[in-house]
Structure 1
Amino acid sequence: MLQKTNQANLAESDHQDHPESHSVFGFWTYLMTDCVLFAALFATFASLWHQFAGGPTGKDLFELPGVAIETGLLLLSSITFGFAMLNAYQQKSGKVMQWLVVTFLLGALFLFLELREFSQLIAEGASPQRSAFWSSFFALVGTHGLHVFIGLIWMAVMMIHVLLRPQLGEHEIRRLACLGLFWHFLDLVWICVFTFVYLGSVV
């Protein structure tokens, strides 16, 4: 009886020394606030849909083939990150690094093409100051691009972690899982952007 009591006390003490992490729950909470942010930006864009102020429209300037390439790159990066997570659970740090590098390059290429699109739109007279439509467009798509940039920085930090700690612990895997949630969330937001902003403006 005394032995069982001692074991229970030791288990309780160990639980107090190593409390369960609430980082994943906290990150889900953050994603919910980000959902509210993007919902507000989508609502703003929808309310200013036809406010062109006599300037160019989305139908005039949007190039769907280029945007489709951007979409394909981002969706593919979500798949490659999934491969990185599968290898992380199997403790294959070398494979994790390889897939993270591929994901990073795909995300960086997406961001490069998006910035090039912005510069082309501005050169054609569709700057954020031109009309309410373009102001809301740049606010929405630019905010998504900023999130992708932050995700790339986070990914670079995680690659350094994996490089320095070949044996992935629970802490590193949890961080990768949170980054995966963030990256997949950006994919979902971009699908909405592609559907409602680009396709909705052209069709």
Structure 2
Amino acid sequence: MTEQAAEEPFHDTDRQEQADRLGMLVFLASEIMLFGGIFAATMALRIQHPQDYMKAASHLRLALGTANTAILLTSSLAAALAVEGARSGRSRWAARALAAACLLGTAFLAVKGYEYAGEYREGLMPGTAAAHFSGPLQRLFMDLYFLATGLHAFHVLTGIVLMLTAALNRTALHDRRAVLIGNVALYWHLVDIVWIFLFPTLYLAGVP
């Protein structure tokens, strides 16, 4: 076995690409299971105690949740354009699209941070929400809200780092197969999809 063969698990670039994509899909499946458990707990609370659920959800700021939904949907478009740019040989376009997605992701976190700050001032954070709610079920909703959105925000931050890394990687930008950029975009699309489910589950539940 040659030294090169020992270092490279695949000589066929098609097989390497398939392995990379499979690895990403397996990782995304594990992420879906993680958020799926949170969604299941949230929906169980909503089905069994709809009045408490709606009353607690009414404390969330729908306008900020709507703004963040628009931001993430736009960022998902930018990530898709980055993949298309790399595959068509437009490396600068791909880099700019990734940069735009990073900026939009940062804007999402800024809005979420502003929302968290307001909830802190109102005493809605875990451990301080007892004065606003009449029972433990409404406090449980807020605990699930902060768990779900906090975990999602961490994934947004991770996605920003991944996209920034791809935007600065000349090899990835010039790869017509868009392997790295495509996998990063897949991760970002999952982040967006999770939020698309979080938005109606949490924010719209408080709308009369």
2:168 partner SS: helix
Could you report, residue by residue, the CA deviation over 1:68-118 in whole angstroms, capped at 9, with x for unpaired residues?
A: 111000000111111111110011111111111111111100111011111
Query: Is the 1:73–1:107 contact (alpha carbons within 8 Å) kept by the matching residues of 2?
Result: yes
User: Which one-letter code corresponds to 2:11 in the other structure?
Assistant: H
Q: Label 1:199 to 1:24 Cα distance change in 2 as closer, same or farther (>3 A).
A: same
Name the Cα RMSD after superposition. Answer: 2.4
User: Which one-letter code corresponds to 1:186 in the other structure?
Assistant: V
Query: Is the 2:85–2:91 contact (alpha carbons within 8 Å) kept by the matching residues of 1?
Result: yes
Which residue of structure 2 aligns with residue 161 of structure 1? Answer: 169
Q: Label 1:170 to 1:18 Cα distance change in 2 as closer, same or farther (>3 A).
A: farther
Q: How many residues align?
A: 183
Counterpart-to-counterpart distance in 2, 1:149 and 1:18:
34
Query: Is the 1:51–1:132 contact (alpha carbons within 8 Å) kept by the matching residues of 2?
Result: no
User: Which one-letter code corresponds to 2:194 in the other structure?
Assistant: V
User: Which one-letter code corresponds to 2:108 in the other structure?
Assistant: F
1:57 partner SS: helix
Counterpart-to-counterpart distance in 2, 1:47 and 1:182:
27
2:174 partner SS: coil
Query: Is the 2:86–2:173 contact (alpha carbons within 8 Å) kept by the matching residues of 1?
Result: no
Counterpart-to-counterpart distance in 2, 1:137 and 1:167:
37
Runs of 4+ off more than 6 Å: none
Structure 1 residue ranges without an equivalent (≥5): 1-15
Mapping of residues 19-38 of structure 1, within 5 Å:
19=12, 20-21=15-16, 22-38=19-35
State, as a whole percentage, how many aligned pairs show the same letter.
Answer: 26
Query: Is the 2:172–2:180 contact (alpha carbons within 8 Å) kept by the matching residues of 1?
Result: no
Find the structure with the greater CA-based Rg.
1
Q: 1:188 and 2:172 equivalent?
A: no
Could you report, residue by residue, the CA deviation over 1:144-181 in whole angstroms, capped at 9, with x for unpaired residues?
A: 1110000001111111103xx4861367x211111111
Counterpart-to-counterpart distance in 2, 1:93 and 1:52:
52
Which residue of structure 2 aligns with residue 88 of structure 1? Answer: 86
Per the normalisation by structure 2, the TM-score is: 0.80
Which residue of structure 2 aligns with residue 113 of structure 1? Answer: 111
Mapping of residues 53-202 of structure 1, within 5 Å:
57-59=56-58, 61-129=59-127, 130=129, 131-162=139-170, 165=171, 168-169=174-175, 173-202=178-207
Query: Is the 2:86–2:176 contact (alpha carbons within 8 Å) kept by the matching residues of 1?
Result: no
Per the normalisation by structure 1, the TM-score is: 0.82
Structure 2 residue ranges without an equivalent (≥5): 1-8, 130-138
How far is the alpha carbon of 1:194 from its aligned partner? 0.6
User: Which one-letter code corresponds to 1:18 in the other structure?
Assistant: H
